[in-house]
């Protein structure tokens, strides 16, 4: 099994591609998804040169530009706007360097509707799909912290971003699992593990996505996420 960052005493030498190649050819997770998992956490960590190299590598492996762009857009929910914008700037440079011209896909909002109400409704529908029977309990708990924040989650996070049609829910949840693992936020990780499984992700896919992060994050975070994965599997 590939050695983790912790087992190698921190970040090992060589380029990102050289360090990540051992993971690339492993079975259990589609190569395109594996690239997006790495990219999402690299954006989170603002590792500029590794982001650039990961993007080049993904394009060489024919990962569609639209999926790369969507992964970066989604990352702002976890990494913040500045780091997502930084990554979008890098992507623009990479595409220019490679002579790739592809306009960003724009989400379509039905005409003659209240945009905010439509986004909130779309977001609530997806939120219920993710949290299932716990959805209303989670909404009430977060709204108790601050009702405006719950509105932002439904309207912006779920309605504007996660419900966009340009990346399937299964992939979005795998990327969410990766970023929450890197952030070491177990209480938020668990429902997204369940959501990924409900969206069709196999346990092995999630295990692979989590384990490959050992290249980028401490091993104890990987181990805690794997324990959560097993609990999520047995709870469904």
Give me the domain span that covers residue 91.
Answer: 16-105+166-235
- Residue at 227 is within a domain: yes
- Residue at 88 is within a domain: yes
Is the pTM value of this prediction over 0.85? yes
Which CATH number belongs to the domain containing residue 99 in this structure? 1.20.1290.10
- Residue at 142 is within a domain: no
- Residue at 160 is within a domain: no
User: Can you list the residues of the chain whose pLDDT is less than 50?
Assistant: 1, 3-10
Cα separation, 208 vs 206, in Å, equals 5
- Residue at 126 is within a domain: no
Nearest residue to 42 (alpha-carbon basis) of 215, 226, 219, 185: 215
Q: How many CA atoms lie within 13 A of 68 on its CB side?
A: 29
pLDDT in tens, 23-41: 988 899 999 999 999 999 9
Check if the beta carbon of residue 181 is closer than 8 Å to that of residue 222. yes
- Residue at 120 is within a domain: no
Nearest residue to 34 (alpha-carbon basis) of 61, 65, 7, 1: 61
pLDDT in tens, 173-214: 999 999 999 999 999 999 999 999 999 999 999 999 999 999
* Residue 176: φ, ψ to 5°: -60, -40
Number of domains in the chain: 1
């Amino acid at each position: 099994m590939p050695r983790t960052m912790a087992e190698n005493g921190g970040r090992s030498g060589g380029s990102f591609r050289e360090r990540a190649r051992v993971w690339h050819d492993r079975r259990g997770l589609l190569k395109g998804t594996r690239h997006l998992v790495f990219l999402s956490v690299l954006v989170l960590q603002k590792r500029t040169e590794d982001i650039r190299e990961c993007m080049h590598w993904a394009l060489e492996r024919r990962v569609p530009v639209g999926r790369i762009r969507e992964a970066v857009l989604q990352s702002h929910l976890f990494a913040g706007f500045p780091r997502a914008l930084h990554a979008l700037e890098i992507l623009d440079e990479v595409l220019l360097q490679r002579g790739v011209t592809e306009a960003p896909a724009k989400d379509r909002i039905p005409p003659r509707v209240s945009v905010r109400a439509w986004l909130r409704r779309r977001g609530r529908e997806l939120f219920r799909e993710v949290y299932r029977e716990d959805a209303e309990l989670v909404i009430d708990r977060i709204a108790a912290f601050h009702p405006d924040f719950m509105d932002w989650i439904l309207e912006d996070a779920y309605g504007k971003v996660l419900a966009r049609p340009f990346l399937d829910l299964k992939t979005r949840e795998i990327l969410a699992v990766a970023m929450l693992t890197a952030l070491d936020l177990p209480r938020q990780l668990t429902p997204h593990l369940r959501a990924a499984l409900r969206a069709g992700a196999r346990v092995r896919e999630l295990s692979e996505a989590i384990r490959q992060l050992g290249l980028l994050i401490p091993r104890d975070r990987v181990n805690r996420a794997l324990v959560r994965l097993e609990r999520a599997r047995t709870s469904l």
